[in-house]
Amino acid sequence: MAETKQEVLKEAEHKMKQAVLHNQEELAGIRSGRATPAILNRITVDYYGTQTPLNQVANISVPEPRLMVIAPYDPNSISGIEKAILGSDLGITPNNDGQVIRLAFPDLTEDRRNELKKVAHSRAEEGRVAVRGVRRHAKQELERMKKDGLMSEDEERGAEGELQKLTDRYVAEVDENLKRKEAELSEV
pTM: 0.73
pLDDT per residue as tens digits for the range 150-170: 888 899 999 999 999 999 999
pLDDT per residue as tens digits for the range 114-138: 888 998 999 999 999 999 999 999 9
Q: Where are the beta strands (DSSP E) in the chain?
A: 44-47, 50-53, 58-64, 67-72, 95-96, 101-104
Domains and their CATH numbers in the chain:
5-28+109-186 (1.10.132.20), 37-104 (3.30.1360.40)
Residue type at 108 in one-letter notation:
L
pLDDT per residue as tens digits for the range 29-76: 777 767 788 888 888 998 888 899 988 999 999 898 888 999 999 988
Entry field: residues in the chain: 188
- Point out which residues pair with 51 in neighbouring strands: 46
Residues 138, 9 contacting (CB under 8 angstroms) = yes
Q: What is the DSSP string of 56-67?
A: GTEEEEEEETTE
Measured distance CA(114)–CA(52) in Å, rounded: 32
